[in-house]
Amino acid sequence: MEFYHASKMALPIGEEIRSGVVSLYYEEATEALDSNRPESAPARKTALYSADSLEFAFYFLIKQNVCKSAINLYKVKVKHPWKAVFSIPHIVQRRIEEGKNIVTLINEYWEPTKNWQFYEYLSTSFVVIEQMDHPVIFDFEMKMKGLRDHELADQFS
């Protein structure tokens, strides 16, 4: 399987990049997810993130309000990737804020049982293989896929 990583930073081709930076996205959800992670899974809080879709890796940073020209897109060789559901941390964060149950979502995040559109692959390191050109993104299609994942996540009680 091929993996891709999008970054605002320029990464050196051929170098191994190691995790360590603490993620500030969905802090409470990340804490809840990490406190219930399988023993062999990397900690979400400090993991490196990759995608199995070049388009999704690029789309993610666009949706974080990063200017397209500032996005560096790479093919990476991921060491020991852990497949997790991309949309679930957002739903977990929302449920924490609403005081709702998150246990089944946490389980689904770490061990997906449904057919999700987007996954994030967590790891503690990867090797940068090559820089990639920016793909053409069909915003409406990507948005609809993301909405399907959110609707599926909302079904977990």
| pLDDT tens-place string over residues 63-97 | 889 999 999 999 999 989 999 999 999 999 999 99
Q: Where are the domains of the chain?
A: 3-154
Q: Is the model's pLDDT at 40 over the cut of 80?
A: yes
Q: Which residues contact 134 (CB under 8 A, 6 or more apart)?
A: 58, 68, 71, 73
Longest dimension (CA), the chain: 45
What is the pLDDT, as a whole number, of residue 25?
77
Q: What are phi and psi of 87, to 5 degrees?
A: -75, -20
Query: Under a CB-based contact definition with an 8 Å cutoff, are residues 52 and 2 in contact?
Result: yes
What is the pLDDT, as a whole number, of residue 118?
96
Average pLDDT over residues 117-140: 96
What is the pLDDT, as a whole number, of residue 22?
82
Q: Please tell me the distance from the alpha carbon of residue 91 to that of residue 104, in angstroms, as a whole number.
A: 12
Q: Please tell me the distance from the alpha carbon of residue 52 to that of residue 135, in angstroms, as a whole number.
A: 14
pTM of the model: 0.93
Domain made up of 3-154: CATH architecture: Alpha-Beta Barrel (3.20)
